[in-house]
Amino acid sequence: MNNEQLKTYRSFLKDSIRKKIAFKYTDQNQGVPVPPIQKPCPEDSVLLDLPSPDEWKNIPPADITQAIGNRKSRRVYLRQSLSLEELAYLLWCTQGLRGKEFNGHAYRNVPSAGCRHALETYIAVFHVKGLAPGVYRYLPLSHGLIFEFKDEMLPEKMITASLGQSYPGKSAVTFIWSAVPYRMEWRYGLAAHKVIALDAGHVCQNLYLACEAIDAGTCAIAAYDQEELDELLGLDGEEEFAVYLAPVGKVKKQP
């Protein structure tokens, strides 16, 4: 680590870049059409509806103070499945919409810089009632899932892609968030990347708190093999790549 390197990498955390960007030249201000706010689905996609909030029967009301006070990273899970309703709840809490799409944006249950929401959610499903194991992608616009692929070796592959950390392969379901940077660059140009990382933090924090409400637990994971995980998910590594993971599973009930 030399001083120049440190300066360069530390500058990622600063907002000085804003003074250097000619915002009139961003794609948004140049009149380039707004990119899709959700990654499009291939025509032959298998789509699955998820139970919506007004259909949930077994999601208990949560005390926010208690959820915050109990929150911690949980890396060991019971051999117990999540229900489809619980999975729907976690997806809704982390990326669900709180309104309809209009003018190229949609408000969600988490904040996002400029409401650009440059993240996609993949889930590696291992033990969810009513859902075959495999990889799915959440569709916030319709509150549904698209089936991506199945792989008999998925637990092992998740573990090696997480640099040997076992919990992403021993969970009921592991969330993997990817970034689609152009969605944010369209508005902010070179100032897009720090705020994408900030956005991801909010998403994972909602997952932590929502897990507390359903006797589940999670653990944020930012240490993983970038190329291996992107390849496993079929992401090109340029226009879309993994940024964050979080395994989820049931844990012992709080006393």
Ligand X SMILES: Cc1cc2nc3c(=O)[nH]c(=O)nc-3n(C[C@H](O)[C@H](O)[C@H](O)COP(=O)(O)O)c2cc1C
The residues binding ligand X (CB under 6 A) are 72-73, 165, 219-223
Q: Which is nearer to ligand X, 216 or 221 (CB)?
A: 221
Min dist CB 178 to ligand X, Å, is: 16
Min dist CB 125 to ligand X, Å, is: 21
Q: Which is nearer to ligand X, 139 or 219 (CB)?
A: 219
Say what the alpha-carbon torsion angle 94, 97, 101, 106 is, to the nearest 10 degrees.
-50
Are the CB atoms for 239 and 182 separated by under 8 Å?
Answer: yes
Min dist CB 197 to ligand X, Å, is: 9
Q: Which is nearer to ligand X, 148 or 212 (CB)?
A: 212
Q: Which is nearer to ligand X, 131 or 219 (CB)?
A: 219
Residue 139 sits at φ, ψ, to 5 deg, of -110, 95
HSE-CB of 226 using CA atoms within 13 angstroms: 7
Q: For the chain, what's the residue count?
A: 255
Cα separation of 186 and 18, whole Å?
Answer: 15
Min dist CB 51 to ligand X, Å, is: 29
* CA angle (120, 125, 128) in 5-degree steps: 120
3-state DSSP assignment of residue 222: coil
Q: Which is nearer to ligand X, 167 or 186 (CB)?
A: 167
Q: Which is nearer to ligand X, 12 or 23 (CB)?
A: 12
Token pair in block for residue 98? 């709180």
Which residue, chain included where needed, has tokens 């990273």?
73
Min dist CB 163 to ligand X, Å, is: 8
Using alpha carbons, select from 135, 215, 217 the residue that is nearest to residue 178. Answer: 135
Min dist CB 202 to ligand X, Å, is: 12
